[in-house]
Structure 1
Amino acid sequence: MTDEILEKRNNKLKSLIIEHDSPAPKEIPQEEFRLKRVGRPLRPIKYIPVKSLIFYSKNTPPQFSYENKIKTPIGRNRLVVQVRNVGLNPVDLKIMNSYTKNMNTETGIGREYSGIISEVGESLRGEWHEGDEVYGTFFHPNLGYGAAQSSILVNPSTDVLIRKPSNLSFSSAAGTLFCLGAAFNILDKLESKGHLTESTNILINGGTTSLGIFTIQLLKYHYRIPKKLVILCSEYGATLLKSHFPDLCDELIFVNYVTNARQIYKPLQDMINNREVISYDAETGQPISSPYDQGKFDVILDYVGGYQLISHTDSLLAKYGAYTTTVGDYRANYKQDIYNSWDNPSANARKMFGKLLWTFDYSHFYFDPNAKYASKNDWVNKCAELVENEVIKCIVDKVFDWKEHEEALSFLRTGHAHGKVILNVEKF
């Protein structure tokens, strides 16, 4: 067969052979195959962009930063809250004053807020849901975090977080929890020591501060203290309190600290010794006398600071009474005061040897609104219930757009805010 094919003697095979004039195709050269190292393709990292109000030191004005980002997916035990409003407090100014030099590190502003949950970690999806309206505290003074951001990453195990009731506005919610929580814990501690009873006579220095306003409401609406509260404030502050709480007009005694600034203890001593309260008519300026029979004070709550009251406790404070201050012997100065500063020697001596050297209970109160401390007296849920049931309300003095932060901080720095100072945070 092979010979027939080669010699083409087989007619049948011959008919199947096709002659081609074109040459056969050339062999395609093959390159030697080698493995080569190539760059790994970039994987896109998803994140939530954040606009933050930050500062670098007290000598540089606050500014907006876009450096912070929240990576997604978030942790199993984390929540992302889109911030609507932020409440400003004196502690914000004290933290700012603590940074005397630029450390090239961003430090946030704001320790309480309100907003809407936008992301929920896997382990929290049974308790929290996207779209929940919330308010809470974001207290990390030593880590540089602040609530004045378009979005914040919240850990419910350390950050206090509460659902916002529908009858509470976002602006009011943002200014509620920090000062209300402080006031509640101050009074709860006094009650546990037996200082709050039906016969307790109470003086409040700084009654129109946010802390003072919440304290007045708690004493009258929650603890139901029957005796009249003596309030040290300005004439304008007294008018403001009467307008917000007309039902308490006959339950409060006002002493004008402006006209007695250098001897604020004097009208109090006269009131106790003479058994009468001297006030003045706003229009005529004529003195108005009314009886006073409550005697010395069992509790003095000092939210302004200074040495005038503490130096006259013999004539003002009843034996075995309680003196609680949030400022100390130095009068509050928000342009200079720093966070966690030491008290003066006399205040430290009272804290250490008060029970041995004095006949009253002295306390310098510091508030840490961390969730891990809330379980001791359940103050978070108790305060939330008071707010939701409209027993307690937040008085908002002024609301600023967060672009007006310098004006807002300047107003807070004057110490003349009668209620909360709130920032509106834009959606980003």
Structure 2
Amino acid sequence: MKAFVVNKYSKTDKLKFTEVKDPRVKENEVLVQIHAAGVNLLDSMIKTGAFKLFLPYKTPIVNGHDMAGTIVKIGSSVQNFKVGDEVYSRVGDYRIGTFAEYIAVKENDLALKPQNVNMEQAASIPLVGLTSWQSLVEIAKLKKGQKIFIQAGSGGVGSFAIQLAKHLGAFVATTTSTKNIEWVKSLGADLVIDYKNEDFAAILKDYDVVLHSNRDAKVLENSLKILKQNGILISLTGPPTPEFAKKLGLPWYVKLIVALISRSARILAEKRKVNFTFLFMEANGKQLAEITKLIEAGIIRPIIDKTFPFEQTNEALTYVETGRAKGKVVINVK
């Protein structure tokens, strides 16, 4: 089958478009013919080796985490899916490879595609949907009337998280550029801050939750300061915490490195009597099925900026790396 492969970790090399062996299907897996694949910044970070300390993939590997497609084969122990089902998934770590024509996916990482969206729209959902769900529902336990600050409201995660937070009954503040202010408001944001002309730290106060996605250390510091006592900051960009390293069962020396690089953030959070945690989203078919219900009910709509043909996967990845995408970027595989 055709696929886009990471031959070696590199900040400059592009993915190689080549022929690879068809996936083998284990007893607890299904084989999916991929129709569309979502493109994420995570895919770029895997390519460059940014996560190799935590996810030491052995290259060459097929890249890609999000997909939607049709089941063409099932393993002997699969119970909840059948050949012909239209499904979608953010596939599990060490099982990635959605920039390809086919992929073997664990049954537990899979959900039926929402019936009211097409394959491209479905492929845009899993990673950002699960990131939002695990942040707001599982960790923050966001409640009606609480205040949440979601950074980068026009991005893939931000545009999804705003809609989920409003569904949960929260007051939502976010940041975006001048040109996207009205568009972000249309997603449900109550307060939109123009990050080019305004300082969120001077405007926001006593927030219950911050969904943090900025890599600037000063932004992290200011985000902790706007929380009320016992509030929580959930970081998608780090620094990773010792709890994260323990959960992944990482070696002692990695745990030590993680403890050192997150020390200042953890100390600041402790001084301010707030909570700091790092989320590295996990594949979860049951949670994705809950998201399917929200999509089918029209509560959340997938947002796609651009769709690229399969052969232009490298161009799609380059576009995502610019940080200018309004919503998600998708490649049309079939």
TM-score relative to the length of structure 2: 0.83
Aligned: 1:328 with 2:242: no
State the alpha-carbon separation in 1 of the partners of residues 35 and 14 from structure 2: 23
The one of 177, 181, 195 aligned to 2:130: 181
Residue 363 of structure 1 and its aligned partner are, at CA, apart by 1.3
For residue 8 of structure 1, what is the aligned residue in structure 2?
A: none
Aligned twin of 2:212: 302
Give the number of aligned pairs. Answer: 314
Identity, % of aligned pairs? 22
Of 391, 412, 423 in structure 1, the residue corresponding to residue 320 of structure 2 is 412
**Which letter maps to 2:197?**
T
Deviations 1:352-398 (A, max 9, x none): x56754311111221121x4xx6xxx523321211222211210111
Secondary structure in structure 1 of the residue aligned to 2:196: coil
The amino acid of 1:218's aligned partner reads L
Instruction: Compute the displacement of 1:76 (Å).
Output: 3.8
1:120 is the counterpart of 2:74: yes
| Residues 1:362 and 2:305 aligned together | no
The AA in structure 2 aligned to 1:318 is: K
**d(CA) in 1 for partners of 2:76, 2:69:** 20
Conserved? CA contact 1:307–1:329, under 8 Å: no
> 276, 289, 304: which one pairs with 1:381?
289
Task: Indicate the SS of the match to 2:238.
Answer: coil
- Change in Cα spacing, 1:78 to 1:320, as seen in structure 2 (3 Å) is closer
CA contact (8 A) 1:305 1:326 kept: no
- Gapped runs of 5+ residues in structure 1? 1-49, 273-294, 331-339
Q: Give 1:148's aligned residue.
A: 99
Once the two structures are TM-superposed, the CA of residue 99 in structure 1 deviates from its matched residue by: 7.9
Whether 1:256 and 2:194 are equivalent positions in the alignment is yes
Letter in 2 for 1:93: S
Amino acid at match of 1:237: N
Query: Residue 298 and residue 155 in structure 1: after superposition, are their counterparts in 2 closer, same or farther (change >3 A)?
Result: closer
Could you say if the C-alpha distance between residues 355 and 115 of structure 1 is closer, same or farther in structure 2, counting changes exceeding 3 Å? same
- 1:298 & 1:104 partners in 2: Cα distance? 40
Q: Deviations over 1:99-142 (max 9, x none)?
A: 899x9942111101001111223443x6432221111122334x
Q: Which residue of 1 aligns with 2:177?
A: 234
Q: TM-score under structure 1 normalisation? A: 0.66
In the alignment, is the contact (CA less than 8 A) between 1:117 and 1:130 conserved in 2? yes
- 1:6-57 deviation digits (Å, cap 9, x = unpaired): xxxxxxxxxxxxxxxxxxxxxxxxxxxxxxxxxxxxxxxxxxxx21111212
SS of 1:363 mapped into structure 2? strand
Superimposed CA distance per residue, residues 130-179 of structure 1 (whole angstroms, 9 cap, x where no aligned partner)? 221111122334x6x4111111122214xx11112321110011110111
Residue correspondence of structure 1 range 29-108 to structure 2 within 5 A: 50-57=1-8, 58=10, 59-70=12-23, 74-98=25-49, 105-108=59-62
Asked if structure 1 preserves the Cα contact closer than 8 Å seen for 2:236 and 2:278, the reply is: yes
- For the residue of structure 1 that corresponds to 2:197, the secondary structure is coil
CA RMSD in angstroms, aligned pairs only = 3.0
Q: 1:350 to 1:258 in 2, by over 3 A?
A: closer
The 2-side partners of 1:217 and 1:106 are apart by 38
1:347 equivalent to 2:293? Answer no
CA distance in 2, matches of 1:114, 1:410: 21
Cα deviation, residue 349, structure 1? 4.4
Shift of 1:92: 0.6
| Partner SS, residue 69 of structure 1 | coil
Q: Which amino acid aligns with 1:418?
A: K
Contact 2:40 2:317 in 1 (8 A): no
Aligned counterpart for 2:149 among listed residues 187, 203, 206: 203
Give SS of 2:169's match.
Answer: coil
